[in-house]
Structure 1
């Protein structure tokens, strides 16, 4: 008991108290309870190591041989047996991604939490006194060995000495992200450009008097070549008997600041960390400012900074030497290096710039080796490196899509080819035409996707069954169809290639250089599995196997679960039962399967009837105004599903609910989405109502967009998060509605055309969308698969025809022909496409499509913009600082930029349809340096894309590109003076290379 007095309490601290401990005290005054907690900190100084440098230089010469000695001691300066990790790298890399080691913190510190309750005469004490055990979950990510950084936050220690949960010790990587800086020209284009080109060589440098070349002096100056960014990495250094570590290395020759990091540890888990900086420098230093690359025709001043670190002014001479990197021959004269020797005077502790004007010649598009050497009295320095010289010509691909509906003749014109003779520098490379006379077969090639999905949920198990049932029906519908399958397996194996893999030579970037290699391989495998899908013996086995697995996912109450062990799912059940309704309507039950499916229906339909009654009862219990209620999507999906099975009577207890929701749907269809309107129309039509479905379809036609190429579709085509926000499934259902209710074959063919055109530029992404699309395309209305149109394409006097089975692919009727560059003429720009019936009249107004690709070489600054369904516009802006803040000023033709200007590139892209797997490449001038050099995934205005920076271009990869207008911007800095080609911006859909475009080429001028 304390009465106005102070009392001291002594707590002896021992080694066992490392990490700290807590003191809790409380008192009562005036019937009020007070509680306080204190933490006594006892640091883990016994687990600290000291790293001292016995021999070490923080300033040294580039390329010097170093031998350093490190001494490691314990916290009482005692000798210890330790191992050490040591590394040193160029500290300038930290501006991209800081790289710092941390001492592993595995020795826990006390964290106190304790509650004393005064409500029960202090008899209740609550405290947590042990580590929380967190059960580890199995990770599917494979982690490789990484640098130390243990997470102390994984430990929760309460009120006692630490008890480490070893399963929770985690390691964290401090990885340095790579900057990809490789040549920005494609290898294929480079090889093509070199055909029929003779390189110029020179044995002498006529414009430079030999007496001005101090060759003997140059040999005496150290020419720095080794610019490795990592000086050393020693992971396993051990102390000797004296507790010291010695290691030797040769420091690279860059003039820079280096970051040295050492991390030591003992068997007792004591740790020490040290970070130091080392500078490599010389009394006289030459620091060239060379660009990443050059381009043919560029005129520039190659500059270098001469630095004087002495305390006296000096005067000297700098020299530029240029060599062909492949032959090591001097090419100063070819590059018009007319002033290779520049004199300089630099004050003490100052720097001066020297500049060498050069002109990059045409027909030199290979590696250039350069040396800049500076000498003043007894001081000298030099640097040697190489850079690529890119061709100023680009392989340009102009594309012209060829689209037809039905039969007849249609004329097209490739205007740029027609006017190609006006350019003296243009070289034809080739003209390719391809055409698919019956694209409906692409839907057949999608069927294997339904049977391959790896997850055994109810929806995908049903779609495996569904795909095999449709395949059996298709295969048995015509001997001709079976014959086509056999040709695909044996002869036309190219028919089973992924669309991403086709036409590699016509694409702007090789598939292997994109993020979509695996997607292409996946689609390729799906198509090759057609052979398995239409194997009749395997088909029967797959049907039985899929049915048994599907039946196991049906609960005792009749509902299907999504995955085994889960609750029954109303939507999944209605989806599967509606799918059975599709097979019933098509009479597509395989032999022996109808009775099995009736077993499923016998319990699934009563389950769904009961669910609808529960909805009705819930409305009544909540006292909803039944006259104003609008049925939800589940109610409407039920009515659509139920319309397939009038032979299954509705239970009397569910009949009022069915009648109510049918009536409300009939009265409120205008308040529903177009997808739901189609379901309502089919449900009411099958229930005997003619007027309402007719009104619904009339309204749908009035709000639709009809396009000769794209067919009929609706403006709101975006995907959503929910099952009823799916444009592919909606289009498929509306095909079913128009076919069954109005039998409007023209509208049905228009709707089918949009579905197929969607497949041309994208991939149907889900099993559900693929199943519905195949159902609508292959089995609704006219059978497009039986069509075998003859197609003739005329390009001037050259004809390409699908007649004659030797050159046309079976089924799709795909043909392709390439005309060599030497035979291409402007007259081939006038193109006509004729589609005619063969032996059997064509069914329906089916579409067909193809494309013409004209490839040519042209100087970048002479390339004009092209206009296709992809439209590109590129503009440069210079950022000016004003009283109002930064302002962007457009860079117009003839404007002059200045070194140090901040440039903002703005690319405007317009897309008239949804596309997938799109690559956009933006070239830049060699005088421009990118700010964003790390490759990363970006998100902008609802669009996600991958952006990667190369030496000569910035590349954008879009997995999905929706219809609309997009603007992309990124910053650059001007680094060199001269006149430069800025290249072009190009874009291409990798899935359908006929959809491509490019901007015009421009030149930019830069002064000081």
Structure 2
């Protein structure tokens, strides 16, 4: 069989285009200036007929009328026979008229904008014509004409002219219609567009967040000055230590394949189970949350909470699956009460470790490669060693101990071989791993390596980084070199920063391989201070800082998270208690609140005209809170407002003729501009979303979503009709310059909205730029 299309690469005439095809858009009105109708601005499909029949000769004749649109249609036909032999025919068909109009309206407008709309009028005939061009603005709801512009112009053959009309957008309304028609003695053409209207005032979300030190019993702050339609919401957490406990990975899901994963599953399961056993109040809290899951949101991901306080719906972000996974992990904490399930998860992990242990004592990475891996063996020994160091190693499990000591023996054998080749060999990894296993007896050569390594650390610790100094101190403490370890931690102290509300931390430390970042470094320092002395004054401030970091960070499910939680609890049992009583007043008037019994979390609506908020509490724990304001304002009246730990600034640059970028106060139609967003983060923040509301005169230079790179970090950017959105999984502390380009599409005066940066994990971390008014000159 064969298929033949009658369509040829051709130019369709006026008569071959349907005068009334395609669904008319809402508000379509007939004109008094010509006898035709206005065609709609967009028609997605001309024809679709999946089932066609050929004649007895295998020929197919297909005739169709294209919709009323001046455009190029692509005709694609595929034919096949009973043997599935096939062929495809592709033809381009251009539909045009002798006189054509092509308007260039913006995608949207704001109430109060002043916009110039250019219409290109084409003369496709072989002789000059005189055209009468009529441009009208109208209300699509009732057809009422708001503005009209008419001009008569002469157009040379195969050339075009521009017709420009200016409209001041009404202060009210949700849509505005624009239609244009050109009429000549040879014919006419018309098109209409419906332009969505945004309110002149844009929504604003801003936050005044605060942190309370453990000894702060009363806190007062001035409330934001009341704006039109302002809504004030107080969010407060009286004992956020409980949120850290909900970060426990708990029982790992089945499907373990690698030795490090199996060791991590042992670590997480044992730590979570032992915390429940050693701290009865933790077990009571988890049971309470699990039984109250329908009415209590404690075991719900932060991504899913407080949707009304966020700039975006969760389904509009890339993090919907992460929210579901995080909630599922938290809900699985209740499984820790089922001894059969915890034992099964634990035994499955032990069995995999035993299966991966090789005859030489090393660990294979997985079952598909049954050969000892130095990396996998060290990872298993490190994880199990830390389990032992923090006091959670199951003392009665001979299977786990055999795997652990076998791995240490394999690592020691490698170190002994290196010692043979180099008599001065030192190995801090082996020394550190051996230090975590007091029941492991090194060989003579192994002890020699350890002694030489300790001496090397003692001699050169001053040249180490902060993280390495902390590890060196832990190493020396394990081998009872406490005096030097104490001296090292005094040096570590000098690199720290302390704040009564935020605690104690090390801003100079970098990120680690774990998602929990430098929080793990602080946890290691906490462990070192507590091992030196349970009364160390640094303990509570470090715990306070770690707890606050959990506010805006999803730590994931790595063993480091269990290590952090265990270190917090082991260093001090303080704050493992229910939240205390909290009294909220605005201008001395009580605000009714019902805090969650453990975390003390609450939400309360505050009077918009209040002046002073006061929080009185009885609990001696760190706390945090925020007053989130939501209101609408004219963009030009909005000033930039940062919050604690986050700010964003927005600038526009114009491309000069030499290709350089310059900051200007006024633009020209047709300019290429660069939007520059400067984001400053004073802390690590997860799930940060930036929404940049653009002026109606700007059109994205790149329509498709794409990544943006800044300071080695990748950001995902997508352009919508009215705004550009940027999604950032994790924003490390620092300053970032994000840029993307736009074209100036229309002259006039336009309100340019604000850029807002907000953590979708912690909406109290919100900052926005200032708004502005863009003036665009008409091109010559």
Per-residue CA deviation, residues 223-256 of structure 1 (Å, 9 max, x unaligned), is 2127324434566767544453222333233212
For 2:422, which of 616, 619, 626 is the aligned residue? 619
* Partner of residue 21, structure 2: none
* Partner of residue 848, structure 1: 623
For 2:698, which of 902, 905, 928 is the aligned residue? 928
For residues 558 and 798 of structure 1, the distance between their equivalents in structure 2, rounded to whole angstroms, comes to: 70
Residue 274 of structure 1, CA deviation? 5.6
For 1:811, which of 575, 582, 598 is the aligned residue? 598
* Partner of residue 80, structure 1: none
* Partner of residue 467, structure 1: 268
For 1:865, which of 625, 640, 647 is the aligned residue? 640
Per-residue CA deviation, residues 393-428 of structure 1 (Å, 9 max, x unaligned), is 12211101121121224645457x23x4xxxxx423
* Partner of residue 546, structure 1: 349
For residues 774 and 517 of structure 2, the distance between their equivalents in structure 1, rounded to whole angstroms, comes to: 47
Residue 574 of structure 1, CA deviation? 4.4
Per-residue CA deviation, residues 938-991 of structure 1 (Å, 9 max, x unaligned), is 334311011111111111111121211111222222222221111111111111
* Partner of residue 891, structure 1: 664
1:486 aligns with 2:287: yes
Per-residue CA deviation, residues 537-566 of structure 1 (Å, 9 max, x unaligned), is 433443333333333332233333332244
For residues 303 and 701 of structure 1, the distance between their equivalents in structure 2, rounded to whole angstroms, comes to: 66
* Partner of residue 876, structure 1: 652
Whether the aligned pair in 1 keeps the contact of 2:527 and 2:571 (CA below 8 Å) is yes
For residues 375 and 491 of structure 2, the distance between their equivalents in structure 1, rounded to whole angstroms, comes to: 28
Per-residue CA deviation, residues 97-130 of structure 1 (Å, 9 max, x unaligned), is xxxxxxxxxxxxxxxxxxxxxxxxxxxxxxxxxx
Whether the aligned pair in 2 keeps the contact of 1:873 and 1:908 (CA below 8 Å) is yes
Q: CA RMSD in A?
A: 3.2
For residues 15 and 239 of structure 2, the distance between their equivalents in structure 1, rounded to whole angstroms, comes to: 68
* Partner of residue 983, structure 1: 753
For residues 63 and 222 of structure 2, the distance between their equivalents in structure 1, rounded to whole angstroms, comes to: 67
For residues 752 and 467 of structure 1, the distance between their equivalents in structure 2, rounded to whole angstroms, comes to: 20
Per-residue CA deviation, residues 459-489 of structure 1 (Å, 9 max, x unaligned), is 2222322223223322223443332222201
1:518 aligns with 2:321: yes
For residues 602 and 215 of structure 1, the distance between their equivalents in structure 2, rounded to whole angstroms, comes to: 90
Whether the aligned pair in 2 keeps the contact of 1:293 and 1:952 (CA below 8 Å) is yes
* Partner of residue 96, structure 1: none
- Pairs within 5 Å for 1:661-676: 661-676=453-468
For residues 713 and 321 of structure 1, the distance between their equivalents in structure 2, rounded to whole angstroms, comes to: 64
For residues 448 and 535 of structure 2, the distance between their equivalents in structure 1, rounded to whole angstroms, comes to: 34
Q: Highest CA radius of gyration, 1 or 2?
A: 1
Per-residue CA deviation, residues 341-386 of structure 1 (Å, 9 max, x unaligned), is 444443444333223322212231x233333233233512111231
Residue 60 of structure 1, CA deviation? 0.9
For residues 742 and 692 of structure 1, the distance between their equivalents in structure 2, rounded to whole angstroms, comes to: 14
> Does the C-alpha gap of structure 1 residues 685 and 903 become closer, same or farther in structure 2, counting only changes over 3 Å?
closer
Secondary structure at the counterpart of residue 543 of structure 1: helix
1:973 aligns with 2:743: yes
For 1:384, which of 161, 178, 192 is the aligned residue? 192
Per-residue CA deviation, residues 571-606 of structure 1 (Å, 9 max, x unaligned), is 54445445445555555456x844443333453443
Secondary structure at the counterpart of residue 546 of structure 1: helix
Per-residue CA deviation, residues 636-667 of structure 1 (Å, 9 max, x unaligned), is 23323322333433233533233222322222
* Partner of residue 10, structure 2: 58
1:355 aligns with 2:164: yes
Residue 716 of structure 1, CA deviation? 3.9
Residue 56 of structure 1, CA deviation? 3.5
Q: Scaled by the length of structure 2, what TM-score is found? A: 0.90
Whether the aligned pair in 2 keeps the contact of 1:296 and 1:389 (CA below 8 Å) is yes
Residue 799 of structure 1, CA deviation? 4.1
Per-residue CA deviation, residues 773-815 of structure 1 (Å, 9 max, x unaligned), is 122222223443236344444443454587xxxx222322211
For 1:301, which of 116, 120, 124 is the aligned residue? 116
1:755 aligns with 2:755: no
Residue 708 of structure 1, CA deviation? 3.8
Whether the aligned pair in 2 keeps the contact of 1:226 and 1:252 (CA below 8 Å) is no
- Pairs within 5 Å for 1:14-29: none
For 2:560, which of 761, 765, 769 is the aligned residue? 769
> Does the C-alpha gap of structure 1 residues 289 and 724 become closer, same or farther in structure 2, counting only changes over 3 Å?
closer
Whether the aligned pair in 2 keeps the contact of 1:312 and 1:347 (CA below 8 Å) is yes
Whether the aligned pair in 1 keeps the contact of 2:636 and 2:751 (CA below 8 Å) is yes
* Partner of residue 530, structure 2: 739
> Does the C-alpha gap of structure 1 residues 729 and 454 become closer, same or farther in structure 2, counting only changes over 3 Å?
farther
Per-residue CA deviation, residues 501-542 of structure 1 (Å, 9 max, x unaligned), is 111111111110011111111101111111113334433443
> Does the C-alpha gap of structure 1 residues 983 and 704 become closer, same or farther in structure 2, counting only changes over 3 Å?
same
Residue 921 of structure 1, CA deviation? 1.3
For residues 210 and 182 of structure 2, the distance between their equivalents in structure 1, rounded to whole angstroms, comes to: 62
Per-residue CA deviation, residues 9-44 of structure 1 (Å, 9 max, x unaligned), is xxxxxxxxxxxxxxxxxxxxxxxxxxxxxxxxxxxx
Whether the aligned pair in 1 keeps the contact of 2:260 and 2:365 (CA below 8 Å) is yes
* Partner of residue 252, structure 1: 67
* Partner of residue 484, structure 2: 692
Secondary structure at the counterpart of residue 248 of structure 1: coil
For 1:679, which of 471, 493, 504 is the aligned residue? 471
* Partner of residue 24, structure 2: none
* Partner of residue 22, structure 2: none
Considering Cα pairs closer than 8 Å and 6+ residues apart, tell me whether 1 or 2 has the greater RCO.
Answer: 2
> Does the C-alpha gap of structure 1 residues 54 and 469 become closer, same or farther in structure 2, counting only changes over 3 Å?
closer
For 2:577, which of 786, 806, 811 is the aligned residue? 786
Whether the aligned pair in 2 keeps the contact of 1:732 and 1:775 (CA below 8 Å) is no
* Partner of residue 330, structure 1: 143
Secondary structure at the counterpart of residue 297 of structure 2: helix
Secondary structure at the counterpart of residue 452 of structure 1: coil
For residues 383 and 87 of structure 2, the distance between their equivalents in structure 1, rounded to whole angstroms, comes to: 67
Whether the aligned pair in 2 keeps the contact of 1:407 and 1:836 (CA below 8 Å) is no
* Partner of residue 23, structure 2: none
For residues 637 and 516 of structure 2, the distance between their equivalents in structure 1, rounded to whole angstroms, comes to: 46
For residues 364 and 297 of structure 2, the distance between their equivalents in structure 1, rounded to whole angstroms, comes to: 40
Residue 853 of structure 1, CA deviation? 0.4
